[in-house]
Amino acid sequence: MRPPHALWNSADGDATELLPPGSRVGDWVVTGPIGAGGWSTVYAARPAGSRPGRARVALKVMPTAGLAPLQARRIVESARREVELGRGAGHPRLIGLLESFVLTSPDRPSLEGAIVLVMERAAGSLRELVDAGAHEVDRGRLVAGICEGLVHLHRSGWVHADLKPENVLLGEDRSVKLSDFGLATELTGTHGHVPPLGTLDYFPPERWRAPLGELGVRVRPTADIWALGIIIHEVFASGGSPFPGATPMARGAAVQEYGQGRAPLRMDQAVPPFWRALTADCLAPTHEARAPHTAESLLVRIAAHRDASGAGRRGTRARAAVLATALYGIAGATLSSDAVRAVPPAPPDRAGAAPPRTVQVYNAERDCRGRADRDPRCSLGLAIDPVRPYTAENVVPTRVWHGDVLGTDCQVWDGETIIDEEDRRSTRWFRVRLPSGPEPRTAWLPAVRARERPALPECS
């Protein structure tokens, strides 16, 4: 996916944007373009009217009008794969699919019958981060996130087949999400088949020589491992490829020379020793040599390295702080130190109504779960509004700690997405009651911060 310099309506040839800001697409309104690829254009969008739900989404629009039957079938199949993965193999490291539909657009014939995928909106891509210089971020954590996504894909029986920095998206907290599953293939035995398409710079040596059969080109999970090796090198070498050449075809020729044993693997000296060794294993010249280095085994090595260097714990702390500024009452926060004490269930009223429900606060940080001193660094924030970003400006003064019991009366399902330190993700929020003290008297607790999740009515 590349940034869209211009989005022309080639069917009309009138140099107008296909979907200018303000265009209505189903229940969504386009706010601007994000990027364009060979088969699709991605737009930022917001809900139309008063439709509840996420405020930020990405619309992937895949036109089919005017295409040859074979091309149209490829687009339909690509969309089917994305829908199947987005809904059936959901994971925090895969971009989420919210809905899909076929566009009816009588006023724009070029978009009539286009397939639209409504997806989570990311803050950017790994390519943008690499191009801007990734020196001040935890690059090891980014690579680990890609591995986590590949572990899930491969365990689920899929090969991404087009892994590259453009298809590694980053959340506002720099969380990693693999995307663009248009070429992903489900394994049948040890292989899958993909069309003769993809990004040349990330093809393994065997892909250059693979015959094109009736079902396409055969690929295996080791093709993703090769692409991962190229990505690791780019992350640590400011975007540089380990294979020389001024064009993708020239670099592809260097890959083939290496794969046939006629050239060594030359990596940039900027790649640190541990990551050089990991990259070399990912870039083993044959499928057989790469096969032992699965995404799972690579992730184990990365975790061990980060634990040994202390980066793992620092990375988790940093991610938690970026994820929600309000999680910890430190760094000169202006929040008061009001504490929520356990709220016992109220007795039934005289009419025999059921007592209010309660939720118990859960802190994913192990060190904080074992403390009883209510250290401010282990405090958690409660939101003012569950559909706004979970930042310091959207947090009530009252703090809570692991084990606190809060009264609750209702819930919302489509609030802001929250990911905790254990990578549990939820858009569900509970409205909780606060003790007497500063206003407001109610606040919102994300479901990932609750030990149990009671059945509650929807908040009005």
**Helices and strands per DSSP (H, E), number in the chain:** 11, 22
Sequence-distant (≥ 6) Cβ neighbours of residue 119 within 8 angstroms: 57, 58, 59, 60, 86, 95, 96, 97, 98, 179
Tokens of 101: 């539909």
60 is in an annotated binding site: yes
- In 308-457, the DSSP E strands lie at 357-360, 380-383, 395-400, 405-412, 418-419, 425-426, 429-433, 442-446
Q: Cα separation of 147 and 44, whole Å?
A: 27
Q: Taking the CA atoms of the chain, what radius of gyration do you get in angstroms?
A: 25
Tokens of 34: 């994000």
Give the ranges where 89-138 is alpha helix by DSSP (H): 126-132
Q: Cα separation of 32 and 22, whole Å?
A: 8
Angle at 1 between CA 85 and CA 122, to 5 degrees: 65
Residue with structure tokens 């724009």? 108
Q: Cα separation of 148 and 224, whole Å?
A: 13
In the annotated binding site for ATP, the residues are 60
In the annotated binding site, the residues are 60
